[in-house]
């Protein structure tokens, strides 16, 4: 793993080499990951590894011509070769009118304690111990357990011939598990991620998954249709992340996004959601494990994209911002859907007849115009009647948009970090559970 000083020396050398070609300017980056993982299934560890990866990437530009080459070898010959490759390709590349020169020095938000040394130094034996805690919960209840535990120490450094220097070091970890009853009719899931392994409670997660598996066994058939649903944080996160990815200004201004206005322009300023809905990004939230700059080195500021129900901002890359005369936002990261004050059980209490959803699977876009998604419920789907969970039900395929999910939301819990974002559980209505799935 390269230190900041080592990365800077290496990138300086790469940039010097690139600059030696007449008329060339360049940006170089170095990414490093030292990580480990332990995988378990059928109540035993099935595979495990410690892996070191790195990537040195160089973008060379001659005016409007540009190309990028990368390698994971840092010996002199490989460095010469990667610069030569980028230089050769850039000379051959057709001109791109959207090409911009490399960034100069930037100011980045301070991110404190992103790197947790305990997480970086986690050993295979410690991972095996966490896996054992989950496996034992399965053994004790005769439930089949599968799961995955991974951690990594990561670094990302960026520099340019124009003076850019960005460096970030952080750790990341995630643990998830799926419990299945021996008769194959019940399944439960639990999972979480953070930058600190100490935040992940293997035993609590195992208990949640096992309890859900047992409670969801022998589900009844509920007719497909539009239901009030309580979506747990993992389900909310996976829907919301698709919506977040659609918040680009360019596609909206080109008329090919949900956030485009018919006849031209965008929907900025439109009140699309209830007051309680705020979607923001914050790279200084260390549990979300993201650098405070994007892949181009653009500073990422904490931003409210949807604020109290109104669309406040769309993201601008460097070229499109310049063309439209807008500030550059970069590609946002570190997503947070703000939560509320209800508990999950309070959300359930307010449901006359509806469905509790744990987790979603295989989400795909059906129609980008309305951000219509399809996917399936999974690992714990329950019927709610008169404010209480009354029975497990078979899984559903849903055909629904995160836009509708948020527009019809009338209750939110506090947030947790799951699927790489901070998300609450929420209650929403008329959610289209379109067809039944036999899958458990």
User: Min. distance of Cβ 425 from other proteins in angstroms?
Assistant: 19
Say which residue the tokens 């070229």 belong to. Answer: 319
DSSP states along 181-224? -TTSS-EEEEEEEES-GGG--HHHHHHHHHHHHHHTSSPBP---
CB of 187: closest distance to other proteins in angstroms? Answer: 8
Q: Could you tell me whether strands 144-160 and 421-437 are parallel, antiparallel, or unpaired per DSSP bridges?
A: unpaired
Which residue, 111 or 130, has its beta carbon nearer to other proteins? 130
In angstroms, give the least distance from the CB of 107 to other proteins: 27
Do 342 and 413 form a contact (C-beta atoms < 8 A)?
yes
Residue 41 beta carbon to other proteins: minimum distance, rounded to whole angstroms? 4
| Beta carbon nearer to other proteins, 163 or 182 | 182
Give 303's strand partners: 281
Cβ of 421: how many Cβ atoms within 10 Å?
A: 26
Q: Which is nearer to other proteins, 263 or 325 (CB)?
A: 263
Please state the closest distance from residue 47 (CB atom) to other proteins, in A. 5
E strand residue ranges, 114-263: 144-160, 165-180, 187-194, 225-231
Q: Which is nearer to other proteins, 36 or 334 (CB)?
A: 36
Cα first-last separation, the chain: 42
What SS3 string covers 296-336? CCCECCCEEEEECCEECCCECCHHHHHHHCCCCCCCCCCEE
Name the residue nearer to other proteins (CB basis): 51 or 204: 51
49 vs 198 by CB, closer to other proteins: 49
Exposed, middle or buried, 77 (CB in 10 Å: 0-12/13-18/19+)?
exposed
* Shortest distance (Å) from residue 110 CB to other proteins: 30
Q: Are 259 and 252 in contact (CB under 8 A)?
A: yes
CB nearer to other proteins: pick between 146 and 197:
146
Shortest CB 109 distance to other proteins, Å: 27
Residue number, 109 or 201, with CB nearest to other proteins: 201
Minimum Å gap between C-beta 149 and other proteins is: 9
How far, in Å, CA of 298 to CA of 158, rounded? 10
* Helices and strands, number each (H, E), in the chain: 10, 17
Beta-strand pair 187-194/165-180: antiparallel
Q: How far apart are CA 101 and CA 66, in angstroms?
A: 10
Q: Is 97 helix (H, G, I), strand (E, B) or coil?
A: coil
Q: Whose Cβ is closer to other proteins: residue 11's or residue 174's?
A: 174
The CB-of-285 to other proteins minimum distance in angstroms stands at 23
Q: What secondary structure does DSSP assign to 29-75, as a single string?
A: EEEEEEEEEEEEETTEEEEEEEEEEEEEEEEEEETTEEEEEEES--S
Give 283 or 354: the residue with its C-beta nearer to other proteins.
354
Nearer to other proteins, 257 or 315 (CB): 257
Cβ-based neighbours of 263, under 8 Å, separated by 6 or more: none
State in angstroms the smallest separation of the CB of 77 from other proteins.
12
Q: Which of 112, 32, 99 is nearest to 68 (CA)?
A: 99
3 state SS of 406 = helix
Minimum separation from the CB atom of position 2 to other proteins (A): 12
């Amino acid at each position: 793993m390269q230190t900041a000083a080592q990365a800077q020396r290496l990138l300086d050398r790469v940039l010097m080499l690139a600059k030696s070609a007449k008329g060339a300017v360049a940006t170089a980056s170095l990414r490093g990951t030292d990580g480990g993982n332990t995988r378990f299934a059928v109540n035993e560890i099935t595979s495990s590894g410690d892996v070191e990866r790195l990537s040195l990437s160089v973008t060379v530009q001659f005016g409007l011509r540009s190309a990028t080459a990368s390698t994971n070898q840092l010996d002199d010959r490989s460095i010469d070769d990667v610069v030569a490759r980028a230089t050769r390709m850039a000379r051959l590349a057709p001109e791109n009118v959207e090409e911009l020169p490399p960034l100069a020095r930037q100011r980045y938000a301070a991110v404190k304690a992103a790197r947790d040394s305990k997480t970086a130094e986690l050993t295979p034996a410690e991972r095996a111990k966490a896996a054992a805690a989950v496996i034992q919960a399965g053994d004790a209840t005769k439930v089949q357990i599968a799961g995955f535990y991974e951690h990594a120490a990561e670094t990302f450094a960026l520099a340019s011939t124009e003076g850019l220097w960005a460096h970030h070091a952080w750790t990341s970890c995630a643990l998830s598990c799926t419990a299945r009853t021996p008769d194959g009719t019940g399944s439960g899931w639990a999972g979480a991620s953070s930058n600190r392994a100490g935040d992940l409670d293997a035993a609590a997660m195992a208990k949640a998954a096992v309890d859900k598996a047992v409670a969801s066994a022998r589900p009844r058939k509920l007719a497909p249709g539009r239901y009030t649903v309580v979506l747990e944080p993992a389900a909310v996160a996976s829907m919301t992340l698709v919506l977040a990815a659609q918040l680009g200004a360019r596609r909206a201004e080109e008329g090919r996004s949900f956030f485009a206005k018919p006849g031209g322009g965008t929907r900025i300023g439109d009140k699309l959601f209830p007051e309680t809905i705020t979607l923001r990004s914050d790279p200084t939230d260390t549990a979300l494990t993201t650098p405070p700059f994007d892949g181009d080195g653009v500073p990422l500021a904490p931003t409210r994209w949807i604020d109290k129900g109104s669309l406040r901002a769309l993201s601008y890359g460097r070229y499109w911002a310049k063309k439209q005369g807008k500030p550059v936002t970069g590609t946002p990261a570190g997503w947070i859907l703000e939560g509320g004050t209800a508990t999950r059980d309070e959300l359930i209490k307010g449901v006359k007849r509806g469905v509790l959803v744990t987790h979603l699977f295989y989400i795909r876009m059906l129609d980008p115009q309305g951000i219509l998604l399809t996917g399936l419920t999974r690992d714990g789907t329950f019927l709610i009647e008169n404010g209480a969970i009354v029975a497990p039900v078979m899984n559903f395929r849903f055909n629904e948009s995160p836009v509708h999910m948020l527009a019809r939301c009338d209750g939110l819990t506090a947030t947790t970090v799951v699927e790489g974002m901070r998300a609450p559980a929420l209650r929403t209505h008329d959610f289209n559970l379109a067809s039944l799935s036999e899958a458990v």
